[in-house]
Amino acid sequence: MTQRPFSRPGAIDLSALKRPAPTTAAGAGSTPQPDAGSSAYAVDVTEQNFQQVLESSMTAPVLLVFYSHTRMPESGQLADDLRALSGEFEGRFLVGLVDIDAAPQIAQAMQIPSIPLVVAVIEGRPMPLFQDVLPREELRAALTQVVQQLTTQGIVERHQPRDAAAVQGVDLDEVDPRYAAAQDALGEGDVDRAVAEYQKLIDANPADLEAAAGLAMARVLQRTAGVDLNSARAAAAQAPDDVDAQTLVADLDMLGGHVEDAFTRLVELVRRTAGDDRTRARDHLLGLFAAVGNDDPRVLRGRQNLASALF
């Protein structure tokens, strides 16, 4: 296929698709199901279930992967790697695998310029991500960046697993054992150990948002250990543009439950500063957003205010 820029910024045009009548009771109206052995967050896309896969992008993003084992085996390997990696991100996106030989009308409807091609679909609107075959580790890093970017935009919803067996036997009321070591350390007052335990989880799975939130909060506790509140506030009042002084008081505000005060302090610091100081203030604020949780309305307002201060 000839390489040319992918440029379809609007909603997907489905007019080229002919909808075959369902041939079984599970036909076009059934929930898309993955192949045997596939990830709980990946599905093989057919002309029958394509519409439903697109509709699922109204809940959380869908990554459509266009490939062909026969025309370009490397693209097939990319599809297999994305299927395998999708479970690591625990529903932050659904991988939809489109074999253009088996479903040529989908490729026609999407006006696919070449393979491989990975397209993100968010609320029914496509956005090209990449057209390269990447080694699995680079692919994992690229997906992590995608998830981080989605998070900064306030897109934090998740898909439910497509395979009930993937979650069979899990008691949702139990504390996730992955976090037990970090939580035990916090309960014992050993903040440094808690930070180290959360960091291990992040290193193992950069897309683990719960671990990221725990790490961010543990670092707030670490930075404020032994700090005198009155002295810190006095120092910040004397040096309104000192990043260290202002971020320390923001941390103390967080611990005191004054979340919006912490956010406002750092947004205004971003607005007043430039260069490395502005970057440090912004990054610190993003860390506090993570500690609170990206679906919290205070974080959503904080992100809007931060965008206004930056631009």
Number of domains comprising the chain: 2
Q: Are residues 147 and 244 in the same domain?
A: no
User: Is residue 68 located within the same domain as residue 184?
Assistant: no
Identify the pLDDT of residue 176: 67
CB count in 10 Å sphere of residue 278:
17
Same domain, 123 and 198: no
> pLDDT per residue over 247-294, tens digit each?
999 999 888 788 899 999 999 999 999 999 999 999 999 999 888 887
- Our separate counts of H helices and E strands in the chain read 12, 5
Do both 154 and 191 map to the same domain?
no
Q: How confident is the model at residue 42 (pLDDT cuts 50, 70, 90)?
A: very high
Last residue of a domain, one of 165, 185, 216: 165
Residues 125 and 232 in one domain: no
Domain residue limits at 128: 42-165
CATH number for the domain harbouring residue 65: 3.40.30.10
Q: Give the sheet arrangement for strand 94-99, strand by strand.
A: 42-44, 94-99, 62-67, 117-122, 125-130
pLDDT on residue 38? 53
Contact 261, 255 (CB under 8 A): no
Query: Does residue 304 surpass a pLDDT of 80?
Result: yes
Domain boundary among 113, 142, 165: 165
Non-local (6+) Cβ contacts of 199 within 8 A are 215
What single-letter amino acid sits at 251?
D
Which one, of 202, 246, 198, lies nearest residue 222 by Cα? 198
Cα 185 from Cα 194, distance rounded (Å): 5
